[in-house]
Amino acid sequence: MIKVLLHSISQLSITNSFQDSSPGGGRISPTLAQQTMSYAPPLLRLAASPHDTHLLATFSQDSNLIRILDVRQPGQALLELRGHASSINCIEWSPARRGTLASGADDSLVLIWDLLSQSTALTPQGSVINGAPASDNTRGPTASWQCDYEVGNISWAPHSALNNDGGDWVGVSGGRGIWGVKL
């Protein structure tokens, strides 16, 4: 599993930076590509889906783009999630809702993503997201919450008798405060 994951992430970086770069116009080896490519931002976070063990969510340093990877299909992103205007700091899959992910960023937003929904509430089909046209593998958020500070971390609250009122809760840290956000 780890070999596949490392291969998938390595190929993702290479695929985005190198297309037909070898002297004969063919593809170059991943090792050579890594040795010769210009600065590629490192991946900062990786979150494995608790419901679909083949899905990973990740983002790079200073990036506002979340990529969903399928470890069974190395080298390409299954989905790209666009909606943050600044660098992302944290991502976490919902433990209760399959295909649901939360993210927080320097734009002070917590965004909720429903990967199982074909349409999104905040970005209609064919729209422009962050200056780029939305493509088939691009999704926008289904919900958002504005924090008073840049979002440093998020965590889904586990279901218990205390919060068994039909809603999900996300804990948010930003600045010197923490908030409980009911979805």
DSSP string, 11-44: HHHHHHH-SS-STTSSPPPHHHHHHH----PPEE
With 90 as the cut, is the pLDDT of residue 18 above it?
Answer: no
User: Would you list the domain boundaries of the chain?
Assistant: 1-40, 42-182
Q: What is the pLDDT of residues 54-85, one digit of tens each?
A: 999 999 999 999 999 999 998 789 999 999 99
Give the pLDDT confidence score for residue 43 in this predicted structure.
Answer: 87
CB-based burial of residue 103 (10 Å sphere; 0-12 exposed, 13-18 middle, 19+ buried)?
A: buried
Return the CATH number of the domain spanning residue range 42-182: 2.130.10.10
